[in-house]
Amino acid sequence: MNKSNCLVIGAGLLGRTLSLALAHQGHRVSLYEATGSDIPNAAAPVAAAMLAPLAESAITELNVVRMGQYSLERWPQILEFLRQPVFFQRQGTLIVWHPADAGEAQRFASLLEKNQAMLPSLPAPKRLTGAEISELEPSLSKRFERGLYLPQEGQLDNRELLKAMEEALSSLQSQGILQTYWSSPQDPQELIAKAALGNLKPAHFHAKANTWVIDCRGMGAKKEWTRLRGVRGEVVRVHAPEVTLSRPTRLIHPRYPIYIAPKEKGIFVIGATEIESEDLSPSSVRSTLELLSAAYSVHPGFAEARVLEMNTQLRPTLPDNLPSIEIPQPNFMRINGLYRHGFMITPLMVDCALEWIESQHTGLAQQVGLQIRVNS
């Protein structure tokens, strides 16, 4: 296999994961990020980082569920390459509801059961009694009469992951394999032109190797990828040491189906809102009240929680709400549109991109139903 030189633009979750994968395969990588290593304008530091393909099947296509199923198995392998520990668990997803919302819950449960029947490799959802909920999550004892359990779904700590990846990038840089350029905005076409003229040959690049430009900028690519839009999400991060939940918990509600993702040391990420807007102003009072009151209705310990952050960010989304890999011209790839499924499907997107760069094959993409669009 011939090794390539790769210029990756955008050091969010996708750009970091792809750069590390390329470097581990022997390619030489330059990674460019318009901001600092904290990537303040990216969705990745704000997300809850739940890896829940069956739960997400309620609002997305089955090919995205397949991508999530593949990626859930790949995440532990990716984490093994990182020297810093990253919180990761696969204790499933718990879904609960109040009696007034039993009808909506029945519809939701039936939908998940139908989707699992179409993808039988996914673990089947299990309907729970109140006693079974108490056994699974003792702190919710006698609070809910019915529930739903989705086995083996997972989550990780997004901020620990981004930091561990930053350390791995630095380590590869010291080995002369990869170079990271923070606060270095780049235009893809300018990089392509420089590479074609031989004016862009970092010292660590292979002397005569093929050079790829790969755009992973998310919302930063909107100027060039005009079909891209942002979908606003609002998330609250709290410290609630009195709350003990051992797995992500979702509360069904007809207007705001909330999720509560427990991290380590009493930290919880609470979210639900999805607004068709590119407004990045602070969270609204209404959204904040709804999120926190819903969390309190799940567990009264949230009443004494301390609000650490209230964040707003945009999810990069294409018109069909599906992820895309495009090759608009030779040796130029752009990956975008991961929408609300960034952490859930990134390993799959990276592996498909890697397969194309190394062999121009689409076997994995075809397996999960991801079309790689090539403009000749």
What is the sign, positive or negative, of the torsion defined by CA atoms of 351, 182, 48, 229?
negative
Answer yes or no: are the C-beta atoms of 101 and 254 closer than 8 Å: yes
**The predicted structure's pLDDT at residue 181:** 96
Q: For the chain, which domains are there?
A: 5-45+159-222+320-374 (3.50.50.60), 52-154+228-317 (3.30.9.10)
Q: How far apart are CA 227 and CA 316, in angstroms?
A: 10
**The predicted structure's pLDDT at residue 376:** 52
Answer yes or no: are the C-beta atoms of 335 and 353 closer than 8 Å: yes
- The beta strands (E) that lie in the chain are given as 5-9, 28-32, 50-51, 88-89, 93-96, 126-129, 146-150, 154-156, 178-181, 211-215, 229-239, 249-251, 258-262, 267-271, 306-317, 324-329, 332-336, 372-374
Query: pLDDT 10s per residue in the chain (376 long)?
Result: 679 999 999 999 999 999 999 999 999 999 999 999 999 878 999 999 999 999 999 999 999 999 999 999 999 999 999 999 999 999 999 999 999 999 999 999 999 999 999 999 999 999 999 999 999 999 999 999 999 999 999 999 999 999 999 999 999 999 999 999 999 999 999 998 888 777 777 777 877 788 999 999 999 999 999 999 999 999 999 999 999 999 999 999 877 779 999 999 999 999 977 889 999 999 989 889 999 999 999 999 999 999 999 999 999 999 999 999 999 999 999 999 999 999 999 999 999 999 999 999 999 999 999 999 998 5
Instruction: Please name the residues in contact with 134: beta carbons below 8 A apart, sequence gap of 6 or more.
Output: 140, 141, 142
C-alpha 201, offset from chain centre: 32
Instruction: Please name the residues in contact with 102: beta carbons below 8 A apart, sequence gap of 6 or more.
Output: 146
**The predicted structure's pLDDT at residue 274:** 84
Tell me which DSSP letter residue 124 carries: P
Answer yes or no: are the C-beta atoms of 150 and 52 closer than 8 Å: yes
Instruction: Please name the residues in contact with 117: beta carbons below 8 A apart, sequence gap of 6 or more.
Output: none
**The predicted structure's pLDDT at residue 188:** 95
